[in-house]
Amino acid sequence: MSVRTGRWRLAGVIGDAGLPAAGADTGTGWELAVDDGVIATLRPAPAGSAAAPTLVLCPPLLNGHDHGRGPGTVDAGIPDAPLEDWLDLLGRPVRPRGQDELVGLAADAMLRAGVGAAVFCVNPTGPDVVDEVRAAARAAYTRGIRAAVVFPVLDAGGDRRGRRRDARGAGAAAADALIAEVERLAGELADEVAGTPAAGLVDLQFGPVGPQWVAEATLARLAEHSAATGRRLHLHLLESPAQRAWADEVYPEGLLPAMDRLGLLTERTTVAHGTQLRDDELALLDERGVTLALNASSNLRLASGVAPVARAAAKVRAACLGLDGLALSDDHDGWAELRLARGLWQAQTHRRVPGAEALALATAAGRAAFGAAAPAPPAEGRPADFVLLDLSPWRHLFGHPDWPLADIAVAAAGPARVAEVWVAGTRVHHRPEPSSRPEPSSAQAHRPREVPA
Ligand SMILES: [Zn+2]
């Protein structure tokens, strides 16, 4: 029986674009009520209310680029390596799994960490791609996570280093057949969940894997289809030094202007990584309203470079974060990824980045990547999409001028602090009940621990 109703007294609310009184931290706390999946009350508690407890509402973290790698690549037996070598290893896992496990187990771990939505770019493990994308979508919506499920398109990938400029690809008839197949699948998936709480959780998208592996004509056809129907595109872009070298050799006048001419750079497109993007290219992405998903951990593990967090945050309004299924500890922990991204941002600018600015990368900035499956910012009258963080270890910082709630969360939150996760009106995760052992008082805390007999 799914839980779709609840009532809480909160210590405060960490804001998001669109939330009234965003970022407010009040002395008396906030009231939150969810009735049948809809936020009925979200407002400061009346003055004189009882002291607030330690739960804090936060928008769900959004994972703007991932693949669904189950318990991670260590479990699969795939060692980290430079991207082009690693892609070979990826196809030969020591422990193979199907999409149900790859996406399902990853989704479970993300939800435990407070990640309420993820982009799953399906890496096929066998010949039946349609079947695998269907399985990935079902794994996502049965877990209750919001998902952009991305259908891979790869028709000029013969040379790992990249195609020739005039590569023919699979041809127009094949592209049209693929588009028809994906549209059929989208209809089928929508019918499966119509009238259930899973309705609207999945947005199917086209995933030309990267410009170096898909023929120009196919890219143009997908862009045309996207313009006509609104269906989103999600591509890898300039992830590694080898991809940068390919782009500069094959498109000496610029890869991004060429992609722009093909119709790929619009507000309906997400590009992932962008590790090797230059400033003028970042500016063009912003001008066209493209979403850019940075993947800092993945870039380190695959020896791709250092995610350009500071430059992207300064130049691209829709710059967001993705885990790429390669979190440093293989734990899908969006908070640790956020701390890494904020750390890079600070190191690249030599200034302190406020928690709210960093948190925006992992929340509001990535919303467009999810198309119709995007969560609305938490507010009265909207479906319940939020995370309740238990920040009790840091309650002594509440109200301190140096410690807005967003700064506490960005500095210290993680799966262990995620008390509840609500997605599209349903509670999809809650922390196991706390043990009955009382917290030690501060006096007891300083006594040496008793050794059991
Ligand atoms: Zn990727």
The arithmetic mean of pLDDT across residues 247-272, rounded, is: 98
Query: What is the token pair recorded at 110?
Result: 């993300």
Q: How far, in Å, from the CA of 336 to the mean position of ligand 1?
A: 18
Condensed to tens digits (0 to 9), the pLDDT of residues 274-323 reads 999 999 999 999 999 999 999 999 999 999 999 999 999 999 999 999 99
Domain assignment of residue 191, yes or no: yes
CA-to-CA distance for 238 and 162, rounded, in angstroms? Answer: 11
- For ligand 1, the distance from its centroid to the CA atom of residue 54, given in whole angstroms, is 37
C-alpha 187 – ligand 1 centre gap (Å) = 26
Residue 88: inside a domain, yes or no? no
* CA atoms of 240 and 218, how far apart (whole Å): 23
Last residue of a domain, one of 334, 358, 373: 373
Q: What is the mean pLDDT of residues 19-40?
A: 74
pLDDT confidence tier of residue 432, bands split at 50, 70 and 90: confident
Q: What is the mean pLDDT of residues 187-204?
A: 97
Q: For residue 269, what is the domain's CATH number? A: 3.20.20.140
Are residues 153 and 239 located together in one domain of the fold?
A: yes
Q: From the CA of 184, how far away is ligand 1's center (Å)?
A: 25
Task: Give the C-alpha separation, 30 to 52, whole Å.
Answer: 8
Say whether pLDDT at 48 is over 80. Answer: no
Q: What is the pLDDT of residue 51?
A: 67
User: How far apart are the CA of 12 and the centre of ligand 1, in A?
Assistant: 35
pLDDT of residue 343: 98
Query: Does residue 368 share a domain with residue 385?
Result: no
- Report the C-alpha gap between 381 and 296 in whole angstroms: 35
Residues 358 and 391 in one domain: no
In this structure, is residue 82 part of a structural domain? no
Give the bridge partners for 321, in sequence order: 294
Are 107 and 180 in the same domain? yes
Residues 293, 202 share a domain:
yes
Q: Tell whether 150 and 133 lie within a shared domain.
A: yes
* pLDDT score at 16: 62
What's the CA-to-centroid distance between 140 and ligand 1, angstroms? 17
CB proximity list for 119: less than 8 A, separation 6 or greater: 63, 64, 65, 66, 147, 148, 150, 205, 234, 270, 293, 322, 369, 370
To the nearest whole percent, how much of the chain has pLDDT over 90?
88
Distance CA 384, CA 6 (A): 10
The answer to whether residue 26 scores a pLDDT higher than 60 is no
Kindly give the interhelix angle for 172-193 and 129-143, rounded to the nearest 10 degrees: 30
In a domain, residue 438? The reply is no
Range from 49-58, 86-95, 186-195 carrying the lowest mean pLDDT: 49-58
Structural domain includes residue 364: yes
Q: Which two tokens stand for residue 420?
A: 């509840």
Mean pLDDT of 10-25: 62
Task: Tell me, in angstroms, the distance from the centre of ligand 1 to residue 243's CA.
Answer: 14
Give per-residue pLDDT as tens, 65-107.
999 999 999 999 999 999 999 999 999 999 999 999 999 999 9
| CA distance readout (Å), 29 to 50, 84, 213 | 9, 51, 53
Q: 146 with 160, same domain?
A: yes
Same-domain status, 186 and 125? yes
* Pair 162, 262 in one domain: yes
Confidence of residue 453 (pLDDT cuts 50, 70, 90): very low
Please write the tens of the pLDDT for every residue from 163-173: 999 999 999 99
Tell me if 369 is assigned to some domain.
yes
Q: Are residues 335 and 404 in the same domain?
A: no
**CATH number of domain containing 392:** 2.30.40.10
> Is 45's pLDDT higher than 60?
yes
CA 316 – ligand 1 centroid, Å: 20
Tell whether 165 and 123 lie within a shared domain: yes
Residue 251 neighbours by CB under 8 Å, 6+ apart? 165, 257, 258
**pLDDT at 352 > cutoff 90:** yes
Does residue 452 fall inside a structural domain?
Answer: no
Q: Ligand 1 centre from 67 Cα, in Å?
A: 6
Split into its structural domains, the chain has a count of 2
Cα of 271 vs centre of ligand 1, distance in Å, is 10
In this structure, what is the dihedral angle of CA atoms 268, 68, 329, 241, given to the nearest 10 degrees? Answer: -50
At how many degrees (to 10) do helices 334-349 and 355-362 cross?
130
Which of 347, 373, 399 is at the close of a domain? Answer: 373
Pair 347, 381 in one domain = no
Q: Does the reported pTM lie above 0.75?
A: yes
Domain region containing 22: 6-59+376-430
Tell how far the Cα of 50 is from the centroid of ligand 1, in angstroms: 48
pLDDT value, residue 46:
85
Task: Report yes or no on 248 lying in a domain.
Answer: yes
